Amino acid sequence: MTKAAIPDYMNKHLASQDIPPGHRFGLYFPIWKDEWKKADQEKTVALKKATSLTNSSQKLSAALYQRQRSIALQNDALGYFPAISTSPFMTGIGNEHPLENGFAFLNPYGLPYLPGSSVKGVLRTAAEELALGLYAETEGWNMLSVWWLFGFDAGSAMLSQKKYNIDMLDEEAGCRRKAYQDWVAKGNYEHNSLEQFIKATVVGRDQKKYLEHPQQFLNKLPDEISNQGGLRFWDVYPQSKHLAMDILTPHHGGYFQGKNTPHDSEQPVPNFFLTIPSGSEFHFYSTCETASLPDALQENWYVLLQSAFKYAFDWLGFGAKTAVGYGQMHSNVDAEQALAQEKRLAELPPIERDIVEVLKANKDPNKKEYLVLLNAVKMEKRWQDDDRHVVVERIKAMMQQVGVWKETTNKKNPLKDKEFQNTQEVKKLLS
């Protein structure tokens, strides 16, 4: 029988406790025998225990998501890019773990998350590839925009002469260097933006030299350049009802470890690991320090970032093992529109927001809006004094607009004229 590497008195508490998956995967992972050796045959059973998201864990994850959403509603310089995964997602596989494949959990909550720094790395790659026009149209990106928004990186492949000694990587780095040099030679950049960047990053006598010869600055960028970039990316809390197990079966472990010659008779070794299943929701948020940007970027940073996210969703993916299909996503347009609508609602005066909420809560699509509000005034009594008068005036205006405001009636029995009766009721409420 296997156990977790914890004191014996703790074991009796584990069975009944509402434990988040990160703690079951980490501290409480039951993979050890009495002599503290791994029981490899028990990997599947132990990992399966970490795939459950308990009710409290789901509520906590939803609360973290809701907290971000509440902050987003109050922030004007914010980008929101919701997505739905179309393949399993994994991250943090380099973390130490008995399975040799770790996973990133946010402590102390024990919930899966994608760090904002990882999101920034993917988006920077997307922005650079767009700016250099390597695989798609630039969508308005250039390298100055990348440096302003993501910060300057002297170690990037397009600027470094580093040799990887791997043909594919060296070829890719060469393509990036050539694309960058072509961009500099064509001068296809905003000169005011470049001058501002030089002033912001270079000090002393060199600043004057580079301002006089800006192309020389781009051809031989000084090592001491440093700027933070305007974008800030938030951690992402995937919304899913459970986690899942996946498996890889390397067939040539001995050869890759240098123990055997290449042949086809090696036994495959099953390798289980943790994932977040496809169909999970990912909510990406980014804020922008617009005051530090040139005027042009202050206006269009969101549009640029939107194109970078689209490129990342379509071609790059997020998390680990994206080269073999993990971490693929597509935009969640419904969620994006819902937040935009909620933000517009939050900006309305309280009485206007109340009216919208009452109309939105109506379950009968055939019921006229003015009748919905009239019933709310009469039955719910949610508005008093001046607010009540504003709503009734709104009802009157709505009735007049659709042509049902009738102060007189030609019917013999006025009680059967609903429009007349409604008008009289509204007039009574106004008096």
Task: Provide CB contacts within 8 A for 136, sequence distance 6+.
Answer: 129, 130, 311, 315
Instruction: Identify the three-state secondary structure at position 328.
Output: coil
pLDDT of residue 6: 86
What is the rounded average pLDDT for all residues in the chain? Answer: 89
- State the burial class of residue 13 (Cβ atoms within 10 Å of its Cβ: 0-12, 13-18, 19+): exposed
DSSP summary character for residue 323: G
- For the chain, first and last CA: distance in Å? 81
CB 93 within 8 A of CB 102: yes
**98-157, pLDDT tens digit by residue?**
888 999 999 999 999 999 999 999 999 999 999 999 888 999 999 999 999 999 887 777
* Contacts for 246 with CB less than 8 Å, ≥ 6 apart: 88, 90, 272, 273, 274, 275
- Distance, in Å, from the CA atom of 65 to the CA atom of 71, rounded to the nearest integer, reads 10
**Cβ pair 241, 54 in contact under 8 A:** no
Please, which residues have CB within 8 angstroms of residue 411's CB and are 6 or more apart in sequence?
A: 417, 420
Residue-wise pLDDT tens digits, 383-409 = 888 888 899 999 999 999 999 999 998
**ω into 108 cis (within 30 of 0):** yes
Which pLDDT value is given to residue 380?
Answer: 66
The answer to whether residues 152 and 163 touch, using CB atoms and an 8 Å cutoff, is: no
Q: Which residues contact 216 (CB under 8 A, 6 or more apart)?
A: 209, 210
Residues above pLDDT 90, as percent of the chain: 52
What share of the chain in percent tops pLDDT 70?
99
pLDDT tens, position by position, 208-235: 888 988 888 898 887 778 788 999 999 9
pLDDT at 413 over 70: yes
Which residues sit opposite 247 in a β-bridge? 272
- Dihedral angle computed from the Cα positions of residues 181, 184, 189 and 190, in that order, rounded to the nearest 10 degrees: 140
Kindly state the average pLDDT of the residues 26-44: 87
**Six-digit token string for 253:** 């472990």
Q: Find the mean pLDDT for residues 86-97.
A: 94
Residue with tokens 């399966």: 48
Least confident of 99-103, 159-163, 180-184, 369-373: 159-163
Residue 345 has pLDDT above 80, yes or no: yes
Beta-strand pair 105-106/111-112: antiparallel
DSSP code for 236 = B
Q: What is the pLDDT of residue 16?
A: 65
Half-sphere exposure at residue 411, Cβ-oriented, CA atoms within 13 angstroms: 12
The residue among 239, 308, 309 whose CA lies nearest residue 81 is: 309
**pLDDT digit string, tens, across residues 354-386:** 888 888 888 888 899 999 999 888 876 678 888
Number of C-beta neighbours around residue 23 at 10 A: 21
Burial class, 385, CB count within 10 angstroms (exposed 0-12 / middle 13-18 / buried 19+) = exposed
What is residue 102's predicted lDDT score, i.e. its pLDDT?
Answer: 93
Written in H, E and C, the secondary structure of 281-294 is EEEEEEEECHHHCC
Pairwise CA distance, residues 130 & 145, whole Å: 11
Q: What pLDDT band is residue 253 in, cutting at 50, 70 and 90?
A: confident
Cα angle 306, 307, 308; round to 5: 90
Q: Does residue 255 contact residue 228 with C-beta atoms inside 8 Å? A: no
> What are 95's two structure tokens?
């973390």
CA 226 to chain centre: 27
CB-hemisphere CA count at 13 Å for 90? 23
Look at residues 389, 397, 424, 394 and name the one whose alpha carbon lies nearest to residue 409: 424
Task: Kindly provide the residue ranges of all beta strands, DSSP E only, lying in 163-322, ordered along the sequence.
Answer: 231-233, 244-248, 271-275, 281-288
Residue 301 Cα to chain centre, angstroms: 17
Work out the number of other CB atoms within 10 angstroms of the CB of residue 377.
19
